[in-house]
Amino acid sequence: MMDKKVLLKSNRTFKSKSSQIRNQKTQGTQKIGFSCTSHLKLKVCNETNNVSVRYFKTHYGHDLQLQHIRIPKSARNDIAAKLVLGVSVPKVVDTIRDSIGQGGDLQRSDLITKKDIYNIKKSFQIDIVDGLRHSDDATSVALWVKECDKNNPVRFFKPQGSDDLEYGLNISDFCLIIMNSFQSDTLTKYASKFVCIDGTHGTNPYDFELTTVLVADEFGEGMPVAFMICNRKDTATYELFFNVIKNSSGSINTLTFMTDITETYYNAWRSVMGDVPNRLFCSWHIDRAWRTNLAKISSATSEQSVHKRKDVYKFLKNVQTCLSVEEFQYQYNNFINYLQEDPDTSHFYNYFTSYYGHNHSLWAYCHRKGLGINTNMYLESMHRIIKYEYLDGKKVKRLDKSLHNLMRFTRDKQVEWIIKVTKGMYRYIMFIILRFSLL
Q: What pLDDT does residue 423 have?
A: 64
CA terminus-to-terminus distance, the chain = 72
pTM for the model stands at 0.63
Contacts 24+ apart (CB under 8 A), 407-416: 407/141, 407/144, 408/94, 408/139, 408/141, 409/224, 409/385, 410/180, 410/183, 410/224, 410/227, 411/97, 411/143, 411/144, 412/93, 412/97, 413/221, 413/223, 413/224, 414/182, 415/97, 415/100, 416/221
Q: Which of 34-43, 100-109, 135-144, 152-161 holds the top average pLDDT?
A: 152-161
Encode pLDDT of 416-434 as tens digits. 877 777 666 544 455 555 5
The CATH T-level fold of domain 140-282+377-422 is: Nucleotidyltransferase; domain 5 (3.30.420)
Q: Which of 8-22, 57-71, 154-168, 260-274 holds the top average pLDDT?
A: 260-274
Considering only residues 260 and 213, tell me which one the structure prediction assigns the higher pLDDT: 213
Q: Minimal CA–CA distance to 214: which of 252, 243, 270?
A: 252
The helix/strand/coil state of 425 is coil
User: Judging by DSSP bridges, how do beta strands 256-259 and 278-281 pair with one another?
Assistant: parallel
Every domain of the chain and the residues it spans:
1-14+29-64, 73-130, 140-282+377-422, 290-367
User: In the predicted model, is pLDDT for residue 438 greater than 70?
Assistant: no
Encode pLDDT of 113-133 as tens digits. 888 888 888 777 665 433 333
Compute φ and ψ for 165, nearest 5 degrees.
-85, -25
